[in-house]
Amino acid sequence: MKVIKRNGEEVAFDLSKIINAIRAANKEVEAIHQLNDAQIEAIADVIYRKIENMTHVIHVEDIQDMVETGIMEMRGYEVAQKYVRYRYKRELTRKSNTTDNGILSLIDNLNEEVNQENSNKNPVINSTQRDYMAGEVSKDLTRRMLLPPDIVQAHEAGIIHFHDSDYFAQKEHNCDLINLEDMLQNGTVISETLIEKPHSFFTACNVTTQIVAQVASNQYGGQTFTLAHLAPFVDVSRQKIRKEVIEERTEAGDSLDESVVEKVVAHRLRSEIKSGIQTIQYQLITLMTCNGQAPFVTVFMYLDEVPEGRTRDDLAMIIEEFLIQRMQGVKNEKGIWITPAFPKLIYVLDEDNITEGSKYWDLTVLAAKCTAKRMVPDYISAKVMRELKKGDVYPCMGCRSFPTVEDGVCNPDGSRKYYGRFNQGVVTINLVDVACSSQGDMDRFWTILEERLELCHRALRCRHERLLGTKSDVAPILWQHGALARLKKGEKIDKLLYDGYSTISLGYAGLCEMCVRMLGTTHTTPEGRSFSLQVMQKLNDKCAEWKAAEHISYSVYGTPMESTTYKFAKCLQKRFGIIKGVTDKNYITNSYHVHVTEHIDAFDKLKFEADFQKLSPGGAISYVEVPNMQDNIEAVLSVMKCIYDNIVYAELNTKSDYCEVCGYDGEIQVVSDDDGKLVWECPNCGNRDQNQMFVARRTCGYIGTQFWNQGRTQEIKERVLHLSNHKLEEVTSGEEAPAGATAAV
């Protein structure tokens, strides 16, 4: 049995500490009011049995509550009074400095929750610890001085989640859709150094990686750039190489036959594209920003984003090289080819690449092979997106946060503007808590939901108002030099916070468990689906109401919970106990997703979740869990075609693990150790040393490789496959259309 201390350290449960604490309080009262040894041991025994039957790790504060209750039940009122006073004095002492213990536990790597808060941050290295230490101070300031007490209390109780409070003290925002075209074509400034328009594709790639690193160091979320903005530089290099080849051959007296020149130019150009993409891949993987992690960067691949003809063919060459290199992977320190976490890739499916025989079909097949091997790219359906986004197709600002469609936010040519926009931040409502608080009463549910949404609204206003008054000088790369805007020195960013230029996100979590608590069934049933869609519509209606009143672009957002899923689960168990199908896990379901344990066919899952994704205009992503599909690319392509026909944005979750002890290349398993803690184990040799294995899993849109907290690990362990081997045979044999009926997995 494990206990979480106040500093976040996870330790073994020690019954003697309970007995000693009661005895200490017992000695403080007169003999006539004291408990005897049998009573003290009885209290401890009851507490032990309660903790033993719990399915989650308990917090020390919960144990102390049990001690108080136990003493009172033994009618030791005077002893209980002494115990309560002792706790109060200790609490006052701790509140006088809320950061010391937290920081010390970080330095000593004792804080279990923080250590596994982010599956792409190594908590051991100095830069990560420095960022976490600064975060502890920022969270302390935020709790005590910057946020209203009721919002802090709601956050700590898991009623809402105020995301990234460790960055709130500084005036930073969430994620960006970089205007790389402006920065490359018109020049930019990096660290007070003028960077002019690149004169080659390779230089453009190099500058791009520098821009990404600078952007990542000036905000706390993800960022996205498109390869379409690099495509024009292929022809810049082509013309430059052609000139050099003609000069070289003329000087050497070689033939200037056009076909020969073209072959040489094409060969050298391909080599430069390879070097340029390699620069992006390796620099983005090896770069480490000031917060101790590689930039959370997404690369967008959309052929129709550039004009048809040579530029589009050049973009196809860039995408092809990116996929080839990503499929190969990167070597770790021991020389083993592994799956890198970044950059995340998004490939757009459209008419010219989705059907066999279409112009870029071979590129789509390559993307399918890459997904089967390395879990990326993910896929956007241009067809469905155009239907939902007024004819536009564009990328998210990071892993899933999409800009809203705004007719009043335009490029110089009058088209709607997307590049250069950003997100102000996120506050997430715990829908499971709303359902549990209403005790299944539908009228109470809607009343409490209204109250909680207003609480989220006020919390989002805090995020917005924290950014008001920010001067462009705080992050010149963002506000002055083109990544997001071209403001003057000293100019405030306020105008970018209104009228749709930026978004602000109302996140939500646990739609599935909410439905189970209210109706006794998941949202995949007709009754559950209807109720859940009503709730989603309510969230959208509130965002529209706030937006109309304040001219701030509120938008509903399917929260990519990582550590939050564990926190919400623990808070729910503390507040409501264990409710089957609702609070009996160490995690709650991400946004609108079908529960990870529910058996549903991949094609049905994508079609079902499409209706909910429509009601998450601020961002969402769906996934299907699949087995190793490297030998069944036809099945991957079938899933991709289903995505194209049904849903805006989706991904395939396969496995990409490696055991360094025995060389096993397959799926590393999650098992329970002797203490009941979930650990990773090689099924071939039994290795459980995380330092001698590589595990990659998709947990929040991005791929994670630094392992996860116990709640997320349980969620990963319990995921069922959405494509069985039988189903794969049906799909690839043509016995069933890609959008077929549900099949047992």
Give the mean model confidence (pLDDT) for residues 188-204.
96
| Whether residue 745 has pLDDT greater than 50 | no
Structure tokens at 177: 């859709």
C-alpha distances out from residue 268 to 64, 263, 273, Å? 71, 9, 9
Q: For residue range 28-71, list pLDDT tens digits in order.
A: 999 998 999 999 999 999 999 888 887 666 888 888 889 999 99
pLDDT, residue 105, reads 56
This prediction's pTM: 0.84
Q: Is 186 left (phi over 0), alpha (psi -120 to 50) or beta?
A: alpha
Q: Which residues contact 139 (CB under 8 A, 6 or more apart)?
A: 165, 166, 168
Structure tokens at 477: 């790369």
CATH code that applies to domain 177-388: 3.20.70.20
More confident residue, 110 or 27: 27
DSSP state for residue 370 in the 8-state scheme: H
CA dihedral in degrees (59, 63, 64, 70; nearest 10)?
160
Q: How many CA atoms lie within 13 A of 668 on its CB side?
A: 28
- Distance between CA 362 and CA 374 in Å, rounded? 18
- Distance between CA 539 and CA 50 in Å, rounded? 38
CA angle at 443 for the pair 440 and 447, rounded to the nearest 5°: 105
Structure tokens at 320: 């092809």
| Whether residue 353 has pLDDT greater than 60 | yes
Structure tokens at 56: 């989650």
| Whether residue 118 has pLDDT greater than 60 | no
pLDDT, residue 741, reads 34
Q: Which residues contact 602 (CB under 8 A, 6 or more apart)?
A: 624, 626, 639, 642, 722, 723, 727
**Other CB atoms within 10 A of residue 8 CB:** 17
Q: For residue range 119-166, list pLDDT tens digits in order.
A: 455 556 666 677 767 777 788 888 888 999 999 999 999 999 999 998
- Distance between CA 139 and CA 132 in Å, rounded? 10
Q: How confident is the model at residue 294 (pLDDT cuts 50, 70, 90)?
A: confident
C-alpha distances out from residue 510 to 452, 516, 617, Å? 15, 10, 18
Q: Which helix (H) or strand (E) holds 161?
A: strand 160-162
| Whether residue 194 has pLDDT greater than 50 | yes
- Distance between CA 551 and CA 6 in Å, rounded? 41
- Distance between CA 425 and CA 507 in Å, rounded? 10
Asked if 481 and 183 touch (Cβ cutoff 8 Å), the reply is yes
Backbone angles phi, psi at 34, to 5 degrees: -75, 155
Instruction: Name which of 388, 206, 364 is nearest 279 in CA terms.
Output: 206
| Whether residue 389 has pLDDT greater than 70 | yes
Give the mean model confidence (pLDDT) for residues 460-483.
97
- The one-letter amino acid code at 239 reads Q
- Distance between CA 369 and CA 634 in Å, rounded? 10
| Whether residue 113 has pLDDT greater than 80 | no
pLDDT, residue 208, reads 97
pLDDT, residue 626, reads 93
Q: Is 163 helix (H, G, I), strand (E, B) or coil?
A: coil
More confident residue, 109 or 448: 448
Give the mean model confidence (pLDDT) for residues 193-199.
97
pLDDT, residue 92, reads 61
Q: For residue range 646-696, list pLDDT tens digits in order.
A: 999 999 998 878 899 999 988 899 999 988 889 999 999 999 999 899 998
CA angle at 635 for the pair 629 and 638, rounded to the nearest 5°: 140
Between strands 378-381 and 344-349, the pairing is: parallel
Structure tokens at 732: 């690839």
Strands (E), 409-487: 422-430
| Whether residue 107 has pLDDT greater than 90 | no
Residues with active-site annotation: 174-175, 397, 399, 401, 423, 557, 562, 701
More confident residue, 627 or 611: 611
Give the mean model confidence (pLDDT) for residues 214-229.
95
Structure tokens at 96: 């006088």
Q: What is the DSSP string of 177-199?
A: E--HHHHHHH-EEETTEEEPPPS
Domain ranges of the chain: 2-96, 177-388
C-alpha distances out from residue 399 to 221, 296, 423, 567, 613, Å? 9, 8, 12, 21, 15
Q: For residue range 534-580, list pLDDT tens digits in order.
A: 999 999 999 999 999 999 999 999 998 777 888 999 999 989 999 99
